[in-house]
Amino acid sequence: MRVVYMGTPAFAVPGLDALISQPEHEVAGIVTGPDRPMGRGRKTAPSPVKETALRHGIPVLQPEKLRDPGFLGALRSLDAGLFVVVAFRILPDELLAIPPHGTINLHPSLLPRYRGAAPIQWAVMNGDKVTGVTTFLVERRVDAGDILCQKTVPIGSEETAGELHDRLSRTGADLLLRTVDMVADGRIRPQPQRGEATPAPRISREDGRIDWRMPARNIHNRVRGLNPVPMAFTTWRGRRLRIMATQPVCLEGEEGRPPGEIVSVDERRGITVQTGEGGLRLDRVQPEGRSRIEGAEFVRGYRPAVGDLLGGS
């Protein structure tokens, strides 16, 4: 099967590698985002997908606008039977009309759950035990097309969104390759999505602000789901404090303390904070303008005190 692959971030690279490795499929071209400033130095750099394409000598298209006539003409000239999309933009009708076998998308959730831009983060933040990957036919409505293949993946109880992201990218690559094989062989049988559709909207930096009135387990899940980006945070002594790793703990005899108050300070274990239900130990933090450190090191170096309030103005 001759395909055009569309994707930009690192999540899309394993799927591209899988297709390139199979001689029965030919990646005729890559569509990816324009080179952007990246990193602390803000130097212009290619996307991870473009880097992979260049290593394999595959033609790369980087349109600013997907409706640009010149881009659409170049896309048609690649004469691909199938378009494959992984972590890319919403596609216009003019583009979807080009490939005779349609356009398929790999999505990191068990659709129709978690339609949208941040399905991995929301699954972890909500404390889900399982998620998965889905391939589906792209249509005008976002993430709503007929399902082609799915695979369920368990979520570890302490797994972060970043760790799950990496596992799903590898599992998704296998599922994507199987889907393309089935499309090429004429064995694919699309099925309408069934069940309740749930949203997974894009997450902003402000979504990382911790509400200490929530139960400790819920905050713990949010910390996991926001790691590595945008990262959960609170404030302490007027400065922002990022929180990378936590652990819910039982509190005895601490009733009546306000949520967000430090209830214990331990030079070996770090600090424990009162929440709306139970306590939360801060195992790894990053003070504003500093490197990330373990909770015990935070206690020794910054001297937080019992009674200090996190999250205040």
DSSP helix/strand/coil, 246:
strand
| Cα 140 off chain centre by | 22
CA distance 26 to 122: 35
Q: Which CATH architecture has domain 2-185?
A: 3-Layer(aba) Sandwich (3.40)
**DSSP state for residue 201 in the 8-state scheme:** P
| Cα 247 off chain centre by | 22
pLDDT at 21: 96
pLDDT at 255: 66
pLDDT at 313: 53
Class (C level, CATH) for 205-302: alpha beta
Please, what is the Cα angle at 204 between 291 and 147, to 5 degrees? 120
CA-to-CA dists, residue 89 to 33, 142, 208, angstroms: 9, 10, 24
**DSSP state for residue 208 in the 8-state scheme:** G
pLDDT at 42: 76
CA distance 96 to 225: 33
* Residues in CB range of 200: below 8 A, 6 or more apart: 109, 114, 115, 116, 117, 118, 119, 121, 122, 123
Mean pLDDT by 10 residues, the chain (313 residues): 97 98 96 86 90 97 97 98 97 97 98 98 98 97 96 97 98 98 95 96 96 97 97 97 97 81 94 96 97 96 96 72
pLDDT at 63: 97
**DSSP state for residue 129 in the 8-state scheme:** S
Q: Which regions of the chain carry the CATH code 3.40.50.170?
A: 2-185
Q: Which regions of the chain carry the CATH code 3.10.25.10?
A: 205-302
